[in-house]
């Protein structure tokens, strides 16, 4: 045959055949995973049981408190016994509020107190502004009005609905809280802005007062910072609630 038609013989491969073993996780790995899942489930159940036990203990203490006092007696605001007007509300976080929500409700209570103190300081800021600028009498008068109006109304209109909503898990009270709280947040923004003749020592008013008197301006800036802090904390707590 011609050289072009000669077929070369098949040469067997000299490389040994290698089998790729199928790697399976050892048995102890699967057992450890199952053990970890079971342990996590037990911890979850234990936390749930502890929460229910704390809730039962809270309700038991509430019943004991009511029986000892002959019924729930209002204790807020705390007033002397010989005061002509008695407390208007009953407030006890450990009795009324479930343990997992007590921190949230307390922070909202402290937020209300913080804003009330800021409104009170705002009166003195507007008074100082009025002292250096006789045309700021409207701001001073409105600052007194805002304190007398917002301090009690914010307590009754958004804090107490929130307190009652967590106490009784009431969807209607949550609705009232969210509606009023959004309006309150808008008020915080306006107070922090501090438009002139609106009765607030916000940033705009503070810069105006700073041009008249540096000490008064610094005082007003501090109050503006407090109003700003109220707005920021209100927004953060709104997301948490």
pLDDT digits (tens, 9 = 90+) for 30-61: 677 777 777 888 888 888 888 777 777 766 77
C-alpha 50/C-alpha 22 separation (Å) is: 46
CA 3 to the chain's CA centroid? 93
pTM of the model: 0.74
pLDDT bin (cut points 50, 70, 90) of residue 29 is low
What was the pLDDT predicted at 84?
A: 86
The verdict on residue 120 lying in a domain is: yes
What was the pLDDT predicted at 42?
A: 84
C-alpha 212/C-alpha 139 separation (Å) is: 16
Average pLDDT score, the chain: 86
The verdict on residue 171 lying in a domain is: yes
The verdict on residue 39 lying in a domain is: no
Domain containing 207: what range?
A: 98-240
- DSSP reduced 3-state for 89: strand
The verdict on residue 5 lying in a domain is: no
C-alpha 171/C-alpha 204 separation (Å) is: 39
pLDDT bin (cut points 50, 70, 90) of residue 225 is very high
The verdict on residue 41 lying in a domain is: no
pLDDT tens track for 54-103: 777 766 776 676 666 566 788 888 888 888 888 889 999 988 999 899 99
Domains: count for the chain: 1
What six digits make up the tokens of 51?
């929460």
Instruction: Give the mean pLDDT of 118-128.
Output: 97
The verdict on residue 166 lying in a domain is: yes
Instruction: Give the mean pLDDT of 172-188.
Output: 96
Residue pair 170/179 in contact by the 8 Å Cβ criterion: no
Range of lowest pLDDT (23-27, 104-108, 114-118, 197-201)? 23-27
pLDDT at 164 over 70: yes
pLDDT at 12 over 80: no
What was the pLDDT predicted at 75?
A: 87
The verdict on residue 11 lying in a domain is: no
Q: Which residues of 9-25 are buried (b: 16+ CB within 10 A; e: fewer)?
A: eeeeeeeeeeeeeeeee
Range of lowest pLDDT (9-13, 150-154, 172-176)? 9-13
pLDDT at 8 over 60: no
What was the pLDDT predicted at 222?
A: 97
């Amino acid at each position: 045959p011609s050289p072009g038609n000669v077929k070369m013989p098949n040469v067997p491969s000299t490389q040994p055949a290698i089998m790729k073993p199928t790697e399976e996780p050892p048995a102890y790995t699967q057992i450890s995973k199952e053990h970890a899942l079971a342990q996590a489930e037990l911890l979850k159940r234990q936390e749930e049981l502890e929460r229910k036990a704390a809730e039962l203990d809270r309700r038991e203490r509430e019943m004991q408190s009511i029986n000892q006092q002959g019924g729930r007696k209002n204790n807020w605001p705390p007033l002397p016994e010989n005061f002509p007007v008695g407390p208007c509300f009953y407030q006890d976080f450990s009795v009324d509020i479930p343990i997992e929500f007590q921190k949230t409700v307390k922070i909202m209570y402290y937020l209300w107190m913080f804003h009330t103190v800021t409104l009170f300081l705002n009166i003195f800021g507007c008074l100082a502004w009025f002292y250096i600028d006789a045309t700021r009498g409207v701001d001073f008068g409105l600052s007194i009005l805002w304190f007398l109006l917002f301090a009690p109304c914010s307590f009754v209109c958004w804090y107490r609905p929130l307190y009652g909503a967590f106490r009784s898990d009431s969807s209607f009270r949550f609705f009232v809280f969210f509606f009023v709280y959004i309006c309150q947040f808008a008020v915080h923004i306006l107070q922090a802005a501090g438009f002139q003749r609106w009765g607030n020592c916000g940033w705009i008013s503070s810069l105006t007062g700073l041009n008249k008197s540096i000490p008064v301006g610094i005082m007003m800036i501090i109050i503006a910072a407090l109003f700003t802090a109220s707005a920021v904390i209100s927004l953060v707590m709104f997301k948490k609630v």
